[in-house]
Structure 1
Amino acid sequence: MAQLSGRNERHERRYHHIPRGLLHLRPALYIASYFGIVLSLAMVVPALVDLADGEASWSVFAVSACGVFCVSVLGVVSLRENVPSFTPRFGFLLTSVIWVTSTVIAAIPFWLSSLPITPAAGFFEAASGLTTTGATVLSELDAMQRSFLLWRAMLQWLGGIGIVAIGLFLFPFLRIGGMQVFRTENSDRSDKALPRLVSVTRALCFIYVFISVACAIVYAALGMSVFDAICHAMTTISTGGFSNHDRSFGFFEDSRLLWAAVFFMIVGALPFVVYVEALVRGRLNLWHDWQVRTFIIGVFAVTVCLTIWLDQTRNIDVADAFTQAAFNVVSIVTTTGFASDDYAVWGPFAFGVFYILTFIGGCSGSTTGGIKVYRFIIVFQALRRAFTRLVYPHAMQPLRFGDRIIEQDVFDSVVIYFIAFFLVYGLTILALSLAGQDFITALTGAQTALTNVGPGLGETIGPAGNFSPLGEFELWLLSFVMLLGRLEIMTVLILFTPVFWRD
């Protein structure tokens, strides 16, 4: 430890004239190079699929894999440096650098392909995949080469495990958006916690792979082709929503598949740390988690309301109405984005319900996007305390999250997150409107990108459309907003402040 400390001190003296923010850029790129190697190896899989299908596009993935691998190895060798001690400043920069560089790498096969795709559209598709948003600029998916369908699914699957990892281990440490309420020994960066962190990570990866394989087996057993089952399993567990068909899950027309998807989308939307505890300690305490209980009860209540609405307004059989309502409600609230029907034509009440559900999201430590259930719980508790103090001004009523007392810094982080969220949301709506988009497209396009849901509402980007009609500026903007939403907003925005870059 003394030797490592001495090396860090010499490193600090060597670069003492460089601002500390820039000083961390080199090791951040060094670590990002390893992620580039992983993505280059992942590109080999769709290349082999195309080779087996006799498609000429196998060379696109082969060239991309070779190029990315060589550049990434060069980055590992040339940027090799003592990684600084983990601080919030380094954590913010590292997270943003990894996700931006990974998105650029993931977009390369789209850029080199013969698909009708622009640079902005290629980056948008890659960002939508890695952030598990599920918005797409591609159409005629049923006739597309299997390699690109698989690559889209793989991006969402890899992005999903990355989201769970940073949600469990990094964001609580960075004190982002109230995530510190979930800070446990796994977020500790001490040497003592390292073996514990490694064991939890192994358990997490095992569970993620196990659930994905189980989902694929169930899909295949219920009638999907093996390829469809594998791709849809990856995009279901990651709550991503990319499908191999233009009609999404409406292509299959089988209620059993819809209910299987409902189950596995909910599995992906629950805290993965609960599954890890079940694997390590042998007990599953899902219902004792306050946000899990709130999430499940809320989903059931909204599903029942929409079932009654569909039964009364569209004369649909109650069983079919319940299936359609459950699938689409779960798909939106978990920010997956699958669709079995064009719910935009279900009427004004359904339109309003889905608009609100898009904001909510699933639980912390899951693969979902959105604002997250725990933040709404904390805000509701604060609202209830405010009402109590109006009647009893001197009452001592601490904020609680389950059996935990919410500290002031946690509540402040949640409030700041809400302010940043709706500030970015409003500015994005204005920017899209300025670019010439109609109000519904601007309103729901900004919303679905920031919450990482996928489809918006309206004729253009609704569940029956896609994002291809949008211009280059809109696609670049929404790509950036997707990354903002996935990284809890403040992680990225802080990089644009002078205080981050100066000593």
Structure 2
Amino acid sequence: MSSPVSTYFRSHAQFAIFVNGLLLIGLGASMLVPALVDFGTNNRDAENFVICALLVGGTGSLFAAAFRQHRTGTLDRRTGYLITLTAWLSVSFFGSLPLAVSSLNISMTDALFETVSGLTTTGATVLSGLDTTAPGLLLWRSLLQWIGGIGIVVMALAMLPLLHVGGMQLFLSESSDVSGKTFPRVGQFARAIGAVYVGLTLACTAGLMVAGMGAFDAVNHAMAAIATGGFSTKDASVGFYNSVGIEVVLIVFMTAGALPLVVYASLLMRGRRAILEDGQVFGFLKVLAVAIGAATVWNISQGMEPFLALRVSAFNVTSVLTDTGFATTDFSTWGSFAIGLFFVLYFIGGCAGSTAGAIKIFRWQILFVSALRHLKTTLSPSRILVLRYQQKQIDGDTIAAVRNFFFMYLITFVVLSLAAMATGLDFLSSTSAVAQGMANAGPGLGPVVGPATNFGHVPEAAKWVVMAAMLLGRLELATVYVVLLPDFWKR
């Protein structure tokens, strides 16, 4: 008699392995791109990329061939959770191989950290000497972010709503910003999102080149900006260029990456009404404007010249709120108010259906209107108030999902922060490293993990804690936690 676990494995997990195999085939093929770049520059890492491409692609082919008979398996909720989690774990491991065997001479832990940071579009790095790093390796880091970015959007708009993760059911394809009227077929929706993603990347590349950035750097920074990733080709990040034009272009496209990508496609088909109907967009832009204004006023009060204050505040606030991770200066030295402001921004994030991370604007909006209703009904207990969000009534299950998400987010943040402190990191470094990891935001705060340094010198155990934070934050917590429940594996 078979156990419940083996029964579940036969009926569901084999299909997940088949899907993982297809993803690894695509990942292996993508490794040939930096291989060609390194071949063109006579860099010895080209051979490593080719070997890794064959290994990863071959492994994926074996998985797909061995379990191809299960490709039509039932995609129920449990299978959805399993595919989502295992896909991110497998792609993270196999994607780290080119870095682990490269001329960088880094440990497997560092290679995994860099890969997880890229795929989750976090942008935290363990590498230094980027200015002289082989171009193929730099391009691979950017490709990881770009691949992760489109994967995040597909997951957020296609998988998470079906799994009812943290209130994401509001964005079911038949009812919300993925409108069934606008995109009547899943294939059409996927093509529209892909076209928007590629179009924004090309537009950002062109803008950066016009602003004075070289072609190679422009491609890398464009992929990082649209994916709200933050990997740069320079140790000093965007501050290396000291260009107002480049900063303005990146501000525009970092913001674009933090807005729902489906809105752009809807904008082409339905005009500006598509933006007016999405309450997230204006909510996010309002928060962004207020945060930039607050940082600017604070910097001026500290003696900074007004234009410089606006310039550095606009760029760095946008980078943190959109969870991108670029930096032009060490904003953790701006004083206590600025540190507090940036710490709060780690928990806000962009819009659902974007490449940005953190808690996301729509959950804050729902929590706010829910709290407001509570206050009003406290004043008038017999009063009946209907909560609405984006012209839809919010049911009790959705509100409960949002509240549970906030609770899980807070508990996860506290536990991981304590774990980071146990590795020897100080309070600010630990809490900001975990906060940025869960938000997929890039740099932490302070002299240890702040914008002026990287994660290369933190304890190895702390790197694993931050990796866990990055994956948990990107997978919206419940996607990971539910798989750990014993009930998940029962019939």
TM-score, length of structure 1 as denominator length? 0.93
Over 3 Å counting, the alpha-carbon distance change for 1:392 and 1:282 in structure 2 is: closer
Report the Cα distance in structure 1 between the residues aligned to 2:259 and 2:11, rounded to whole angstroms: 38
Q: Does residue 246 of the first structure (1) align with residue 235 of the second (2)?
A: yes
Match of 2:465 among 477, 480, 487: 477
Q: Does residue 92 of the first structure (1) align with residue 93 of the second (2)?
A: no
Give the Å deviation of 1:22: 6.0
Report the Cα distance in structure 2 between the residues aligned to 1:87 and 1:17, rounded to whole angstroms: 16
Give the Å deviation of 1:349: 1.0
Q: C-alpha offsets along residues 65-91 of structure 1, whole Å, 9 cap, x if unaligned?
A: 111111111111112232322211110
User: 8 Å contact 1:130–1:158 — kept in the other structure?
Assistant: yes
Aligned pairs for 1:133-212 (under 5 A) are: 133-185=122-174, 196-212=185-201
- 1:486 match: 474
Aligned pairs for 1:193-232 (under 5 A) are: 196-232=185-221
Q: Which amino acid aligns with 2:344?
A: I
Q: C-alpha offsets along residues 193-248 of structure 1, whole Å, 9 cap, x if unaligned?
A: 99700011011101110110010011011100000000000000000000000111
- 1:334 match: 322
User: 8 Å contact 1:186–1:196 — kept in the other structure?
Assistant: no
Report the Cα distance in structure 2 between the residues aligned to 1:297 and 1:194, rounded to whole angstroms: 28
- 1:271 match: 260
Report the Cα distance in structure 1 between the residues aligned to 2:271 and 2:301, rounded to whole angstroms: 46
Report the Cα distance in structure 2 between the residues aligned to 1:496 and 1:273, rounded to whole angstroms: 32
Aligned residues: 486
Report the Cα distance in structure 1 between the residues aligned to 2:462 and 2:274, rounded to whole angstroms: 44
Q: C-alpha offsets along residues 474-498 of structure 1, whole Å, 9 cap, x if unaligned?
A: 2122212211110100001111110
Q: Which amino acid aligns with 1:313?
A: Q
Report the Cα distance in structure 1 between the residues aligned to 2:127 and 2:161, rounded to whole angstroms: 36
Q: Which amino acid aligns with 2:350?
A: G
Q: CA RMSD in A?
A: 1.9
- 2:24 match: 36
Over 3 Å counting, the alpha-carbon distance change for 1:47 and 1:17 in structure 2 is: closer
Q: C-alpha offsets along residues 106-164 of structure 1, whole Å, 9 cap, x if unaligned?
A: 10001111313111111111000000000000011101111111000000001000101
Q: Does residue 398 of the first structure (1) align with residue 381 of the second (2)?
A: no
Task: Mark the runs of 5 or more structure 2 residues left unpaired by the alignment.
Answer: none
Q: Does residue 346 of the first structure (1) align with residue 334 of the second (2)?
A: yes
User: 8 Å contact 1:185–1:193 — kept in the other structure?
Assistant: no
Over 3 Å counting, the alpha-carbon distance change for 1:149 and 1:453 in structure 2 is: same
- 1:128 match: 117
User: 8 Å contact 1:168–1:273 — kept in the other structure?
Assistant: no
Q: Which amino acid aligns with 1:337?
A: G
Between the aligned residues of both structures, percent identity stands at: 37
User: 8 Å contact 1:161–1:367 — kept in the other structure?
Assistant: yes
Counterpart of 1:158 in 2: which secondary structure? Answer: helix
Report the Cα distance in structure 1 between the residues aligned to 2:308 and 2:29, rounded to whole angstroms: 43
Q: Does residue 497 of the first structure (1) align with residue 485 of the second (2)?
A: yes
- 1:439 match: 427
Q: Which amino acid aligns with 1:303?
A: I
TM-score, length of structure 2 as denominator length? 0.96
Q: C-alpha offsets along residues 1-39 of structure 1, whole Å, 9 cap, x if unaligned?
A: xxxxxxxxxxxx999883325632211011111111111
User: 8 Å contact 2:18–2:64 — kept in the other structure?
Assistant: yes
Report the Cα distance in structure 1 between the residues aligned to 2:453 and 2:377, rounded to whole angstroms: 49
Report the Cα distance in structure 2 between the residues aligned to 1:463 and 1:290, rounded to whole angstroms: 32
Q: Which amino acid aligns with 2:90?
A: T
Aligned pairs for 1:348-497 (under 5 A) are: 348-497=336-485
Over 3 Å counting, the alpha-carbon distance change for 1:22 and 1:320 in structure 2 is: farther
Task: Mark the runs of 5 or more structure 1 residues left unpaired by the alignment.
Answer: 1-12
Counterpart of 2:274 in 1: which secondary structure? Answer: coil
